[in-house]
Amino acid sequence: MVKQDRAVRTRQTILAAAAKVFEERGYQAATITEILATASVTKGALYFHFQSKDHLAEGVLAEQDQHLVVPTRNCKVQEIVDTVALHAYRLQTDPMVRAGVRLSLDQQATDLDRSGPFLRWADVLGGLLKEARAELLPHVVASETADVLVGSFAGVQAMSQIISGYQDLDQRVSQLLRHILPNVVLSSVLATVDMGPGRGATVYAEAGGLQPTDERRPMAATAS
């Protein structure tokens, strides 16, 4: 058990170091040597868990999905908003999530399958939209709206990262939702939904994470 716990901690240390390097350097410029130095582990320890830089990147991409679960809401549209807002908050506060997004959008990572996060997010939002069917306008197709939300979020977060290092991401995501959802959601439902900039921090606290007053630690902007 002790060895197993140590192995888990070592793996997380390596992933955290890889996330830091990938976020700062991008996939192509990142090196195993720099990740080793950042993690302060031996080459043998790293290769025990990850066989290559590709596997490290895949590990970071998968790790960003280990998110807190949004509490179930009676209003499913609120649950959709909370899911998006929570992801935005985690981008502002969690280096692993930032690294995963950086890798997902890194056009230099030609050897890496970057489709996973987009497909998983579209699947999550598509499922929630199907559950919210009674709260949506008749013309809405869940899969199409999910794709629009995922693509729009990707663009908004990239803009926020470049302009402010994610410091204004909560405001930009709030604006995004306020522009898209009136074309998707029944007005009587939308009137009850909280899409404010502070929503992500509130949901994070409710789901068992940091309190809304905890200091955010957005990284300096880097090119995607």
The token pair at 67 is 């998110």
Domain boundaries 76-206, corresponding CATH code: 1.10.357.10
Provide CB contacts within 8 A for 49, sequence distance 6+.
7, 10, 11, 14
- In angstroms, the Cα distances linking 178 to 149, 181, 185, 191 are 12, 6, 11, 11
**Over 60: is that where the pLDDT of 205 sits?**
yes
Q: What is the pLDDT of residues 24-47, one digit of tens each?
A: 888 888 999 999 999 999 999 999
* Residue ranges of domains in the chain: 2-61, 76-206
- Predicted confidence band at 3 (pLDDT cuts at 50, 70, 90)? low
| pLDDT at residue 172, rounded to an integer | 97
Q: Which of 112-116, 131-135, 142-146, 194-198 comes out lowest in average pLDDT?
A: 112-116
Please name the amino acid found at residue 204.
Answer: Y
Q: Give mean pLDDT, residues 202-211.
A: 77
How far is 151 from 97, CA to CA, in rounded Å? 17
Q: Do domains 2-61 and 76-206 have the same CATH topology?
A: no
According to CATH, the superfamily of the domain at 2-61 is Homeodomain-like (1.10.10.60)
> 59 in the Ramachandran plot: left (φ > 0), alpha (ψ -120 to 50) or beta?
alpha
